[in-house]
Amino acid sequence: MDHTHSDHGHAQDKLPVAALLALAMTGFICIASETLPAGLLPLMADDMNITQAVAGQSVTAYAVGSVLAAIPLTIATAGWRRRNVLLLTIVGFLVFNLITAVSSIFWLTLIARFFAGASAGLAWSLLAGYARRMVAVHQQGQAMAIAMVGTPIALALGVPLGAWLGQAFGWRNAFDIMSGLTVLLIVWVLAKVPDYPGNASNERTSMHAVFTTPGVRPVLATVILWMLAHNILYTYIAPFVAQAGLTDRIDTVLLTFGLAALLGIWAIGRMVDRSLRGAVLSSLALFSLVSLLFIWAASEPAVIYIGTAIWGLTFGGAATLLQTALADSAGDGADVALSMNVVAWNSAIAGAGVLGGVLLDTWGASAFPWAVLGLSLAGLAVVWSARAHGFPAGRRAALTPAVGH
């Protein structure tokens, strides 16, 4: 049953941009909901009478929800119609972000964050395959690029946006605004996103077969190391920049990061097909240098701004680079590999929330750059050694067979 030919005879002329952008918006809400508390930690901590390290666990709880739910929920809903699954995830964001907005009990907030994360875990396993089903085979690369554009934008701007909304309207209203966007998205999906039947069980590749494919494990290891390093600093950015007296300028610091990350997304978009390996190596090497800069001069505001800009530049294209490397390595098992990526990515976010909290309470914010340096150098070593599979040198061979299709 090849719906690609039967359903999309005209798709060669026109991409379903409105439908693909609805998927992009879903990705944006996934990431923005996850990272929102990072820009709101001081406000949340003051309001709920807890420490910033404890407030940081609201990021951890979301990530744990994604990790634990991604694979079982994906399996449980594999036979459902696709739009019903998409709507289920979006309604999950609506309900659990609203609970977060009104909760005055921290354990209830953590439960709501956990289930919002579960919604995200299911969404991530769905979006890539959904985008591909909407178009002809030779347009799948373009469709994926559009459907995933919300992810790097949210990674770049989600936290500064949260910090700004928190300062302007209060941290609870930041979650209310996210819920408002979710209501709009539900209407958008119902109006513009086509529905498809679920996947037959014989169309799914086994987890073990994909995990043991050469190149998959080095890429997943790089995801974990790089995201641990990034999120230790990112989740606890407020206490880190306080060392330079920038507590009141956290929104400006995060905006600096976000704008640099958008520039990084653009740069990586131009590099990824020509030199994926070089882009990953240079990103991690620069991130390591930034951590050294922060070790030496974290009390200098100018160093914080310069270092944050370089850090944003190196991180902007991370999602594009790592997902592309993983899909290239996995081949026909790309969907399954990308569900593993959900688990790896969010395990790293959860781990960073816990590890960063321990570092903050034990040694203070000055310990963060040391942890970042060790983890980013370990990631650099993994990428360097994965020359044959995972991060091969030269141009990407991916998608070339589809061109002549």
Tell me the pLDDT of the chain (405 aa) as tens digits. 334 443 444 444 588 999 999 999 999 999 889 888 888 888 999 999 998 888 988 988 998 898 898 878 877 887 889 999 999 999 999 999 999 999 999 999 999 999 999 999 889 878 877 887 888 766 665 676 678 778 778 877 777 888 888 889 999 999 999 999 999 999 999 999 999 987 666 556 678 888 999 999 999 999 999 999 999 998 889 899 999 988 888 878 888 988 898 888 878 877 777 788 999 999 999 999 999 999 999 899 999 999 999 999 999 888 878 888 887 888 777 767 877 888 898 889 889 989 999 999 999 999 999 999 999 999 999 999 999 999 998 876 544 333 223
Residue 199, pLDDT score: 66
CA distances from 2 to 5, 6, 8, 84, 137 (A): 6, 7, 10, 21, 10
**How far apart are alpha carbons 239 and 365 in whole angstroms?**
6
In a domain, 101, yes or no: yes
Same domain (yes/no): 217, 187: no
**The domain spanning residue 159 has which CATH number?**
1.20.1250.20
Measured at the CA of 258, the angle between CA 267 and CA 111, to 5 degrees, comes to 125
Long-range contacts of 136-145 (CB under 8 A, 24+ apart): 136/4, 136/5, 136/8, 136/11, 136/12, 136/405, 137/4, 137/402, 137/405, 138/12, 138/402, 138/403, 138/405, 139/11, 139/12, 139/15, 140/399, 140/402, 141/399, 141/402, 142/15, 143/15, 143/20
In contact, 204 and 332? CB cutoff 8 Å? no
Same domain (yes/no): 255, 138: no
Domain span at 190: 15-204
Residue 99, pLDDT score: 96
Helix residue spans in 245-367 (DSSP H): 250-271, 276-297, 301-315, 318-330, 334-362
Give Rg (Cα) of the chain.
Answer: 20
Of the candidates 183, 204, 225, which is a domain's last residue?
204
Q: What is the pTM of this model?
A: 0.77
**How far apart are alpha carbons 284 and 402 in whole angstroms?**
31
In a domain, 312, yes or no: yes
Same domain (yes/no): 269, 258: yes
Of the candidates 204, 220, 235, which is a domain's last residue?
204
CA distances from 282 to 31, 278, 289 (A): 25, 6, 11
Instruction: Provide the 8-state DSSP code for 302.
Output: H
Residue 94, pLDDT score: 96
In a domain, 405, yes or no: no
Residue 316, pLDDT score: 84
Number of domains into which the chain is organized: 2
Q: Shortest CA distance to 156 belongs to which of 255, 16, 266, 296?
A: 255
Same domain (yes/no): 254, 383: yes
Token code pair at residue 43: 């406000």
Same domain (yes/no): 133, 199: yes
In a domain, 3, yes or no: no
Same domain (yes/no): 238, 380: yes
Q: Shortest CA distance to 131 belongs to which of 5, 22, 13, 9?
A: 22
In a domain, 8, yes or no: no
In a domain, 10, yes or no: no
**How far apart are alpha carbons 339 and 206 in whole angstroms?**
12
Same domain (yes/no): 178, 228: no
Same domain (yes/no): 211, 140: no
Same domain (yes/no): 341, 220: yes
Of the candidates 158, 174, 204, which is a domain's last residue?
204
